[in-house]
Every structure is written in structure tokens, then in C-alpha cells.
Structure 1
Amino acid sequence: MKILLLEDEFMLARSIRTYLLSRGHLVDHYDNGQEVLEVIESQAHDFYILDINTPLIGGLECLKVIAEKYPDTPKIIISAYHDVDYISDAFSFGCSDYLKKPFNLKELDIRIHHLTVQAKPKIEQVNDPIIHLSNHYTFNKENYLLYHDGKVQQFTKREYSLIILFVSNLGQIMTDESIRSFIWDGEDTESSTIRSLVNRVRAKLKEDLIQNIRGFGYIMKRGDFV
């Protein structure tokens, strides 16, 4: 799944993101609500994890907007607040569950799984798991595999991670930093190493789906359809 995480505590956000990545999820992390409100205008996610007390715009305000735009998508509020008024507000604004800090990451995983199973029948009605990238290429969001004319394409684990990043952000420029953050979890990685990975994937593709935007990064667009 593609998960949006709003959390301004760096160490907690890093722990949550690392754990969810290990569980096979894609995680877009933001440390302030203003960025979240900008992102949701153009991107949909499969799950939202929102802290209440965040800079610029708080999680509850983000929750109201997200719930209106994506009412059937699961949303968890996480907070150190134990006041019943905060909990009441969270549920009245559309949250699916409320998790008090500190919490065990396994508990978060259990709640994500439970809410996803509950929401799946509704989401499946509007979300096709197959993304058509061109007449020949499709990507399956359920097994995270790329197909060419119905045949699974062979890539290394890291190459597939790059493809997942691009497919999850179709039409958006991926900078070296965004690739470094997703593939290497923010570790210091040379731009030449990132460029080499992108070039290997492009060389294996039978169509020019990934383009180099000089001075900015890379972008994946859907190919031509006839």
C-alpha cells in the first residue's frame, strides 16, 4: 500500500517509516500539515497516519480535508494527547482509529491490517489494481510486479523498488534526494550510483517510460495508447 505519514518527531517518523517499508508498504512522510494539504490535492494514498500536533497545520485539520476528499480510505490519528475531547474530535472529523503514543509498531501494523481489510470491499469498487502504463506495459498494485504483454518482467530487488517509486508517483519528477530517501532510506549515496540504477532500469525497459529531466531528476509518464 501507499501510506501517507504526517509526523514531526524525526526519530518516531523514521522508526514508523522503516518498519512500514519492511512490511512492503510505500511511505510518503511529511513533517507539517501544510505540505500534506498540498499533496492530497494531486495524489491519493491507500492509508493515512496523522499526528494531531504538527507545525503550520495540525493533523485534525488535515483529517477533515482528507475525510471529505477520500471518505472510504482508512485514517489513523496518533497522538500523545489522552484528552477525551481530542479523541471525540478525531472520530467526528472522520478518523477510523486513534492510537495513543507511545505505541508498539506491531500494534500499528495490526490496526493498519484490520482497517484495510474492512475498507477493501469499498476501495475495490473504485480502485483497479492494474495500472496501464502503455499498450504493452501494466503494473499490478497487489503484487508490485511489472508486466509486458502479460509477462512478468525480471528486475533486481533494488530495480523493482525504483519502479514502484516511479509508478506510485506517475507524472511527478523524482529528484536524486527522493530516490535516495526511498531506495537507500536516506543514507549518503552518490548521485552517480543513483544515475546508474536509473539507467539500468531504463535499459531493461522496452519503451521509454522513464525520462531524464535535466537539472531536476527523472519522471515516469504513461506511454502512448492506440
Structure 2
Amino acid sequence: MSESLSLLLVEDDLSLNEELGIFLSDFFDKIDSVDSAEEAYEKYLTSTYDLVITDIQLPHQNGLSLVEKIRKKNPSQMVIVISAYKEVDYFLKSIDLGIYSFLTKPFDSQLLINTMIKVTNQLHHKHTPLESSMVSLHDGVSFDLKAKSLFVNGVLKELTEKEECLLFLLVKNANTFVRNEQLSQAIWQSDEINNSTLRALVKRVRDKLGYDECIINLKNRGYKLTAHPS
């Protein structure tokens, strides 16, 4: 059974606050909704939350100032910032604060759903011991064969469908070469994929894995993922 998740939602538009609360209740078991940074910080001092979602434009105190105060208390707190504004300064400041995601209003419903799926998936992994489907590839790097999810230093990496498929095949056959033809057939359902297309896909996955010689290529042998479990 999944561990229950808690959320602190900070939004001064009361109708949007209510709508978001209803939507997010599908993902979080406990939601504390407030409409000011001051009240949010008071709540934060007396409770623990898996995720904080805050608007930037709040009465009296800017949402990013709230995030700064929260980060001083808990540097690892996961935060999502929402705003009707797309100014570069806000976006860059959010990056400096290490937020998980920056979402602009009006929301793209599919993007919002995808973001919640990813963040709650990551939060559940923090709560739940790794199951047998999780394969350690290197120090801080693991792949969940069941969910086809790559985690690097605890962060869920975004993978395209083809990247998921490639990594799944290589992890399943870790430390063993998989022929180009097998990869092409599984990923593109064709044996006639140009080698440069496969190389480009492998390069993107290498970059996301991030450790030296993570995927090795040998002419006439194919590709091999080198796993060095920590």
C-alpha cells in the first residue's frame, strides 16, 4: 500500500484554490489550503509536507520569499511554483531556489496531470523501500523496470517513449551486448533503422545516465549497458 502524501497549497484566488484542492485530492491524502504566505509559513512551522505548491503573486508577501524561508528551514523541501506571469526573472529566481517545477496559469490540464504523476511517483519512491523491480546501475543511479523510470540522485529523469524502451532493454540485459537489429526491432519495429538514428538515441540516454562508459558500443556486437551497483 502506498504511503499517504501531504500537500501545502498556497493560492489567494479562493475559487482557484478550491478547484486545485479538488483536483489535487486525487494525488494527496492530506491538503492544507491557505491564501497567504504568512499563514502558509505558520502552517509549515507546525506540520510536515511532502510537497508545497505556491502562487508567486500573494498579498503582502511574494511567494518566492515564502519559498526562501521554507528552504532555510528545510533545504530538501519539494516545491512547485505557479504563476500567471511568465517573466524570465521569476523563472530564473525559481531555478535558483531549486524548485521542482514552474507552472504558468491558465494551466495546461495535461501538463498539470503529468507533473502531479511525476512528482507523486518520486515522493512515493522516497517513502517506499526499493522493490525488486528497481535495479541499481551505478552510485546514485537506478532504473525501475516495472515503471520504466530512471532515477539519478533521487530525481526522476524525464524519458521519451523510445528512451524508455532502449533503457529497459539494456538494463534487462545489463553487462551483455544487445545487437543493433534487436534494438531497432524493439524500438522502431523495423530492422532498417539508420545507425546514426540509433546512435543519437543512445547518446541522449547516456547523457541522462550521467556516469562514465555507462553504455558501450562495439562494432558488430551492438550496445551494452555497464552496471556497477553501489
Taking the aligned partners of 1:105 and 1:4, their CA distance within structure 2 comes to 20
Contact 1:34–1:57 (Cα < 8 Å) also in 2? yes
Taking the aligned partners of 2:72 and 2:126, their CA distance within structure 1 comes to 16
Q: Show the 5 A alignment for 1:72-221.
A: 72-122=76-126
Write the letter of the residue equivalent to 1:91: I
Write the letter of the residue equivalent to 2:82: I
Write the letter of the residue equivalent to 1:7: E
| Identical-residue share of aligned pairs (%) | 30
Question: Residues 45 and 25 from structure 1, CA distance in 2 versus in 1: closer, same or farther, beyond 3 angstroms?
Answer: same
Write the letter of the residue equivalent to 2:24: L
SS for the counterpart of 1:99 is: strand
Q: Which residue of 1 aligns with 2:33?
A: 29
Q: Could you tell me how far 1:105 is from its partner in structure 2?
A: 4.2
Q: Which residue of 1 aligns with 2:63?
A: 59
Contact 1:5–1:50 (Cα < 8 Å) also in 2? yes
Which segment is superposed worse, 84-93 or 68-77? 68-77
Taking the aligned partners of 2:13 and 2:62, their CA distance within structure 1 comes to 13
Contact 1:73–1:119 (Cα < 8 Å) also in 2? no
Contact 2:6–2:28 (Cα < 8 Å) also in 1? no
Q: Deviations over 1:14-58 (max 9, x none)?
A: 110011124453211110101111111111111111100101222
Q: Deviations over 1:43-95 (max 9, x none)?
A: 11111111001012221011112223233332100001111111000121231
Write the letter of the residue equivalent to 1:13: N
Q: Could you tell me how far 1:114 is from its partner in structure 2?
A: 1.1
TM-score by length of 2: 0.49
Instruction: Name stretches of at least 5 consecutive residues in structure 2 with no aligned partner.
Output: 130-230
Q: Could you tell me how far 1:120 is from its partner in structure 2?
A: 4.8
Taking the aligned partners of 1:32 and 1:14, their CA distance within structure 2 comes to 14
Q: Deviations over 1:147-191 (max 9, x none)?
A: xxxxxxxxxxxxxxxxxxxxxxxxxxxxxxxxxxxxxxxxxxxxx
Taking the aligned partners of 1:27 and 1:105, their CA distance within structure 2 comes to 20
Q: Could you tell me how far 1:123 is from its partner in structure 2?
A: 5.6
Taking the aligned partners of 2:79 and 2:17, their CA distance within structure 1 comes to 16
SS for the counterpart of 2:99 is: coil
Q: Which residue of 2 aligns with 1:12?
A: 16
Taking the aligned partners of 2:98 and 2:71, their CA distance within structure 1 comes to 5
Q: Which residue of 2 aligns with 1:71?
A: 75
Write the letter of the residue equivalent to 2:120: T
Taking the aligned partners of 1:24 and 1:42, their CA distance within structure 2 comes to 19
TM-score by length of 1: 0.50
Contact 1:72–1:122 (Cα < 8 Å) also in 2? no
Count of aligned pairs: 125
Question: Residues 21 and 68 from structure 1, CA distance in 2 versus in 1: closer, same or farther, beyond 3 angstroms?
Answer: same
Taking the aligned partners of 1:105 and 1:2, their CA distance within structure 2 comes to 21
